[in-house]
Chain A
Amino acid sequence: MKEIPSKIPQYRVTIWETGAILLGAIALVGVGLTGLAMKFLSNAATPQRAEAIARNIMSYSLPGGSQGLLGLNIAGAKVALVASEGNEPDIQLLVARIPIEQETRKRQIERVLDAISLGADEEEFKVRKTREEQRSLCGESIPVTIKDGQLKVAGSPVKPAVTYRATVKLEDSRYLVNLLTSGQNAEQKAAEVFASLECQQ
C-alpha cells in the first residue's frame, strides 16, 4: 500500500502570482459588472419596456400615439420617458414613481431627475415666462410649474415650447411628472396630455 505524506510542503507565493490572482478577480468582477451595466442600458433603451414602465407609473394619452424612449426600474423606483410618434417628437413625457420609504434618497433621485428632466438645458430651451398654476393630478390639487419658451434643437428651426413640472404624493409613493411639448399649439397639447395623466398604484 502506498502511503501518503502527512506534511503539506511550504510553497512560496510570488508577488506576481498574487498580482495575477488579483487581476483575474478584478477582471471577472469587471466582466460581471459590465454585463449588468449592458443589460441595464439595453433594458432601459427597449421601447416596449420603456413604455410598459411608463404605463405602470401613469396612464397617459399622447395625441398621435406614443413610443417608449427610456425605462428604468431600480430598487422599486421607476422612471420612464415616452414621446409622441415620429423622428422629431413634439411631445416628451418623463414620469417617475418613487416609494415613500426611499424618502431619504429622494433628493438624490430628484437630482438625477433634474439632470434628465425635459427643458433643463438652458441652451436648448430658452424660458420666456415661468408661472405656477393649481392643477389636478391623480385626484389631488397640486401646484404645477409651467414654463413657456423657445426650443432650439440642432438641425431644426426654433419652435415654441411649454414644460409642465409637478409632483404628487399618493399613499406610499411619490409621482413626478415632467412634460415638454413643442411646435404649434404646444400650450394646448401640454394641457391635454397633463389632463390625461392618471397615477397607477
Chain B
Amino acid sequence: MAELTGLSDQEVRDRQLAGQTNNVKLPTSRSYTRILRENLFTFVNAVFFVISGVFILLRRPTDAVFVAVIIFSGVVIGIAQEIWAKRQLDQIALLTRPHATVIRNGQELSIDPCDIVLGDVLLLRPGDQVLVDGQIVGEGRVEIDESLLTGESDLIPKVIGESVYSGSFCVSGTAYYQAEKIGADTVAYQLTMGAREFRQVYTPLQLEINVVIRVLLLLASFLWLLIGISFVSRSQTLNEVVQRAAVIAGLIPAGLLLAITLAYAMGAVRMLGQNVLIQQTNAVESLSNVDILCLDKTGTLTTNHIQLETLYPIGISEAELRSRLGDFAASTESGNRTSEAILLGCPGYKRPIQAEIPFSSARKWSAIAFADFKETGTYVLGAPEILMSNVALNPSVLDYIDQQVEQGLRVVLFAYTPEILEKSHLPELKPLGIACFSDQLRPSAQETLQGFAKAGITVKIISGDNQKTVAALAKQAGFSHEIRVVSGAELALMEEAQFAQAARNCNVFGRITPQQKAKLVRSLRDAGYYVAMTGDGVNDVLSLKQANLGIAMESGSKATRGIADIVLLKDSFEALPHTFLEGQRIRNGIRDVMKLFMVRLCCVALLIFAVAIVTDSFPLLNKHSAIVTLIGVGIPTTFIPIWAQPGEQPKRSLVRSMLHFVIPSTISITLVSLSVYLLYLVSAALDLPPNVGMTELDFNIPRTALVTILVFCELLLIPFLKPPTTAWVGGEPLNGDWRYTFVALILLIVYLLILFIPPLRLFFELSTIDVYDCVFIGLVALEWCLIVRWMWRTRFLDRFLGVNLE
C-alpha cells in the first residue's frame, strides 16, 4: 500500500479553489434562527401580541406594556440562556469531532473532515467512520458495517474497486479509499439532513407535557369561543373581552416546554464539568429514566490497559512461542489491544502477509498466513472455547485455562494449520500455546457500581470475554452479591422465551457476539425496562443503537462515539452515577415545576367556570392573573429546578405521578378561594348604593380578595411541595430544605408590599383591603393548609374515588 501517494499540494489547492471540498457543516446544536423562531414565534406569544395590541388601541398602555414585558422578558431570558448553552455545546462538539487521515504527497496527514477535497485518499482503520463516499484503492481489505445506512447488521467485506459510503464504519482490517463524493453529495449528508428535517424526537417527558399543553390550548380555545359569543350576545365592552382573553391565554403554559429544553441544555453544560458530553438533548431525559445499565467489561470495570501475564507453550519452547506470537502481532493489519499487549511482551518482526482474516467480535479469532515462512500455513489466535472444536487439548491444558479464567485473566489460544485460510471456516488446528492477559480493575470500579445501586439502576455486564473471566473480575469489583452467569453459547441454544428470561435474570454475560449483545438489549427493552448501554469498540455499535441510551467512551472508536447519546470524556466512567443522579435531579425539578403549574392552571380554569355559574361574572383581570402567576408560580419555579435534588421516582407517567399532589390541592384551593370571593362579593353587594343595580356591582374588592387568597395558598403550597419539616409532609416526602420556604416567605412579603403600597396596588388594579381582611384571608389560608394536609394524610380523595392517587 506504500505506493499510494495521494494528491499533491497543488492538486489540493486547485480543488479547493474549484470548491471541491467537503466543507458542509452538520448542525451540532439548534441554530440561532431556530432558537429565535422557537422562542419568539409561538402561538401563545402571537395571542399575547394581539392582546397587547388591542390594549394599546383601548388606551390601556400599562396593560399592553405589562403583557409585552412578561412575554419579552421570558423570551429574552430564554434566548440568552439557550445561545449561551449552544455556544458551550458547539465548542465541545468541535473538540470531539472526528479527524480524517489522508495521504497527500505520499505522507499521512491528520486533517479536519471539512478539509477533505475530491480525490483525496483516506485511511480506514478499525473503528473509523467513513467520512465521504468513495472507492477502495490499494491492496487493503476491510469489513464494513453499513447498518446505519441499510439497517442490515451483517459486515460487508470490501476490497479494491468496491464502494464505501459515508455514515458506515470500519469494523476490521485496514484499507485506503478515494473520495468520490463530498459535502452535500454524500449519502450520509443527505440521510442526516433528511432525518433532521422530518424527524423531531421528543423525550417521554416532553411528549407528556406537549399533551398537557395541547389539552390546555383546547380548553383556552373553547373559553375564547365562549367569550367571543358573549361579546356579541351580551354586548360586553371590548376591554372586558380582552381582559378575559388575556386571563385565558395565561392558562396555556407555553413557556414550560422551552423551560424544559433549557433545563436539559443547562444540565448538559453542567455535566461537561463532570467530563460527560451530552450529544442528544434527550440524553438527559433518558438518563433519569434508566433502570438497567448494560456494561461492557473493558473500559468500564477495567482500565483497558491489557498486559501479557503468562505464556503456556504447547509442544514448542516458550521462546519459539514468543517469537511466533510477536511476529503475528507485529504483522497484523487489524491490530487491537490484545495484539499491542502481545507485542509488548513478545517482540516480533513485521513480515509480509499472504492472507489475513482480521479479528472480529462475532468470530472471536483472527488468522494470518505469512508469505516468507519456510513452512506454509496459517496461524490462528482466538478464544479457546471457540477454537476448541478444531483443536485437541489435553486435560492439563484445559485445567490451566480454567485456573487462569477464574482469576479473571483473558485467555487466548494460539494455534497453527498447514492450510492457507482465506475464508472464515476453520480446519483442524495444532495448538502452539496459551497466552493469558490481565486487565486492571479501575480503582473506582467498586465505588461506581455502588453509585449505580444507589441510583436504583441494575447493572448487567455483557462482554465478549470468557464468562468466567468476566464473573471473576465482577466479583473483584464487588459487582453484586449474587452473580448469575450465562455464556453466549448457552444463549445461542435458547428459545426466545428462555432468552428473554435469561436476559432479565442473569447479570453477567460472557462470550457474547455483537448480535447477541444487541438482542439482549432489545429483549430487556421489550420487557419494559429503560436500558442504557455503554461501549467503546465497534462491536458495541449495534447494541448502542438498540438501547434507549447509548454511552460511549472518549477513547472508544469514532463510530461508537458518533452514534452515542453520551460520550464520557477522558473515559470518566466514574462520572456516570453522578450523571444519572443529575438526570434524576433535572427530572424531579421539572416534575415539581409542573405540579405548581398544574395547580394554578386547574384552579384558575375551575374558578372561571365556577364564578361564571355562581355570579355570572369573571374572576380575574389580566393584571390579577399576571400577579397570581408571577408570585405564585413564575418566580418559585425559577428556583425549583436549580435546587432540585436527585432521587428515584416511580417509573410512571408524569401526569399520573402528580395526581396525589395536584388533585387535592386544586380542589381545596378552588373551593376556599371561591368561598372567599363569594364572601367579599356579597359584602360588596351589601355596600351597593341604593340607586345602583347588581349589574353595576364593583368586582374589584372580591377580585382583590381572590388574588390574595390564591397567592397565599400558592405560596403555602411551596412548603408542601418541598416540606422543610414533617409538619408539612402530606403531598410530598420530607425534603428538609428550607430555601423554598424562605422564597415563599419573601414572595409573601413582596405581595403584601404590592397590596399596601398605593402605586403598586393601583398598577396591578387591586383594591384597598384593610389589615383585618388581610388577617382573615391569611387565617383562611392557614385553615386551608390544615384541610389539604388532612386530605393528603387521610387519603380522603383516594378513598372517595376508590383509586390510589399516589
Contact = CB atoms under 8 A, between A and B. Distances in A.
Interface in B639-695: 645-650, 660, 675, 679, 682-683, 685-691, 693-694
Given A21-B790, A36-B682, A39-B686, A3 B779 contact: no
Interface in A7-24: 7-13, 17-18, 20-21, 24
Q: Quick one: which of A8, A11, A21, A32 has the most chain B CB within 10 A?
A: A8
Contacts of B730: 8, 11
Interface string B557-584: 0000000000000000000001001100
Nearest to B588: A4
B690 A35 contact: no
Contacts of B686: 36, 39-40, 43, 73
A6 B650 contact: yes
B35 interface: no
B690 A52 contact: yes
Nearest to B727: A11
A131 interface: no
Contacts of B779: 28
A9 B786 CA distance: 17
Contacts, number: 97
Contacts of A36: 679, 682-683, 686
Interface string B521-545: 0000000000000000000000000
B733 A53 contact: no
Contact of B783 (A11, A25, A52, A56): A25
B683 A13 contact: no
Nearest to A39: B686
Interface residues of B, number: 45
A31 B581 contact: no
B645 A2 contact: yes
A174 interface: no
Interface string A18-59: 101100110010011001100110010000010011011000
Contacts of A71: 690
A87 to B, nearest CB: 25
A5 interface: yes
Contacts of B688: 73
B700 interface: no
Contact of B690 (A3, A28, A39, A78): A78
A58 B291 CA distance: 80
A76 interface: yes
Contacts of A28: 776, 779-780, 783
B731 to A, nearest CB: 7
A10 B647 CA distance: 19
A1 interface: yes
A78 B660 CA distance: 48
A8 B731 contact: yes
Nearest to B779: A28
A6 B690 contact: no
Nearest to B647: A4
Nearest to B783: A24
B690 A32 contact: no
Contact of B786 (A21, A40, A52): A21
Contacts of A13: 790, 793-794
B734 interface: yes
Contacts of A73: 685-686, 688, 690
Given A21-B787, A24-B786, A28-B780, A4 B687 contact: no
B806 interface: yes
Nearest to B782: A24
A98 to B, nearest CB: 14
Contacts of B786: 20-21, 24
B787 A3 contact: no
B735 interface: yes
A31 B776 contact: yes
B297 interface: no
A13 B693 CA distance: 48
Interface in A56-73: 56, 71, 73
Contact of A43 (B687, B780, B787): B687
A6 to B, nearest CB: 5
A11 B729 CA distance: 9
B780 A4 contact: no
A35 B682 CA distance: 11
B447 interface: no
Interface in B208-265: none
Given A24-B786, A71-B690, A78-B690, A4 B731 contact: no
A169 to B, nearest CB: 19
Given A25-B783, A28-B780, A52-B689, A4 B793 contact: no
B645 A5 contact: no
A7 B646 contact: no
B645 A4 contact: yes
Interface in B678-737: 679, 682-683, 685-691, 693-694, 726, 729-735
Nearest to A12: B793
B690 A8 contact: no
B597 to A, nearest CB: 20
Contacts of A40: 686
Nearest to A25: B783
B322 interface: no
A9 B729 contact: yes
A79 to B, nearest CB: 11
Contacts of A25: 783, 787
Contacts of B460: none
Interface string B742-778: 0000000000000000000000000000000000100
Nearest to B455: A3
Nearest to A200: B691
A31 B777 CA distance: 11
B712 to A, nearest CB: 13
B410 interface: no
A7 to B, nearest CB: 6
B709 to A, nearest CB: 12
Contacts of A76: 693-694
A52 B692 CA distance: 11
Contacts of A10: 793
Contacts of B734: 5, 9
A5 B584 CA distance: 12
Interface string B779-797: 1100100110010111000
Nearest to A51: B690
Contacts of B517: none
A53 B690 contact: yes
Contacts of B729: 8-9, 11
A40 B682 CA distance: 10
Contacts of A11: 726, 729-730, 793
B585 interface: yes
Most buried by B among A21, A32, A35, A39: A32
B794 to A, nearest CB: 5
B585 A1 contact: yes
A3 B683 contact: no
B691 A56 contact: yes
Contacts of B732: 8
A71 B647 CA distance: 64
Contacts of A78: 690
A50 to B, nearest CB: 9
A58 B396 CA distance: 123
A1 B790 contact: no
A192 B334 CA distance: 124
Task: Tell which of A31, A43, A73 has the most Cβ of chain B within 10 Å.
Answer: A73
Interface of A: 1-13, 17-18, 20-21, 24-25, 28, 31-32, 35-36, 39-40, 43, 49, 52-53, 55-56, 71, 73, 75-76, 78
6 contacts: A1-B582, A1-B645, A28-B776, A36-B679, A39-B687, A56-B691
Given A6-B650, A36-B682, A76-B694, 20 more contacts: A1-B581, A1-B585, A3-B646, A3-B647, A4-B588, A5-B734, A6-B648, A8-B660, A8-B792, A8-B806, A11-B793, A13-B790, A13-B794, A21-B786, A21-B787, A35-B776, A36-B683, A43-B686, A71-B690, A73-B688
